[in-house]
Amino acid sequence: MIVAYVLFLAISIAFFYFTSGVITNGIIRFIVSLVIFFALSISITVMVVSKGDAPPPGSKTIDFEEMERIRRNLNKEDQMSGVKIEIVTQRDQAVRSTLLEIWEASVAATHDFLAAKDIQALKPHVSEAIQSIETLAAAKNEHGIAVAFMGVERDKIEMLFVAPQARGTGIGRELISYAVDKLNARYVDVNEQNPQAAGFYEKMGFEVFGRSELDAQGNPYPLLRMRLKERLLQSGGES
């Protein structure tokens, strides 16, 4: 840097002396020489600073989005590590309220075809179902807080909902495996307008065998009737 500035100063002085035959006014030559010196100095300074900001050859820039994605995945793995599935034997008001909150948050996040008023209209039916379903199971984290739940009636999964913050942790798969292996569940109904859920059950070994134009409350939300594939039934439900 210093060598460059000395060189620019020498160029400016040479300009001042060797242009005397062209620019006769000494003050103007002096001003022009200064302008040349400062222009060259600023140029080299910008080039050096820019080069200093650039990453060294072969280095990698930090991908903050990738770091955040990894952090979220690690958090999800931590959430799943302490999760236990328990049969809910006490269905008092506090338990029902907790599970109803999970249901409402899950439906709001996944059932885009339902308006807010539709979700509110379904709440009494869901609360009643939580109270009356034959078998109710909840997935609880290491702090004993429910993050997902499932209801099974005979051999059918009637409800399965995962809190939004616990989605992608494998809790849904664990609940279905529990339903199939421990509760002998073989059937499930899925909203046709929720293809993500249908695809999830297909990955878990279920297949569509029927369709209903209306849901259980008689609303115009078509349902896909799904059952565990025959080959999985013969192998004890293992995919």
Q: What is the mean pLDDT of each run of 10 residues along the chain (239 residues)?
A: 58 56 63 65 62 53 51 49 89 96 94 90 94 97 94 97 92 96 96 93 96 89 93 54
Domains and CATH numbers, the chain: 2-53 (no CATH), 82-234 (3.40.630.30)
Torsion of CA 141, 145, 148, 152, to 10 degrees: 110
Asked if residues 138 and 102 have their Cβ atoms less than 8 Å apart, the reply is no
- To the nearest 10 degrees (0 to 180), the angle between helices 26-53 and 2-18 is 160
pTM of the model: 0.63
Q: What is the pLDDT of residue 59?
A: 47
Q: What is the pLDDT of residue 101?
A: 96
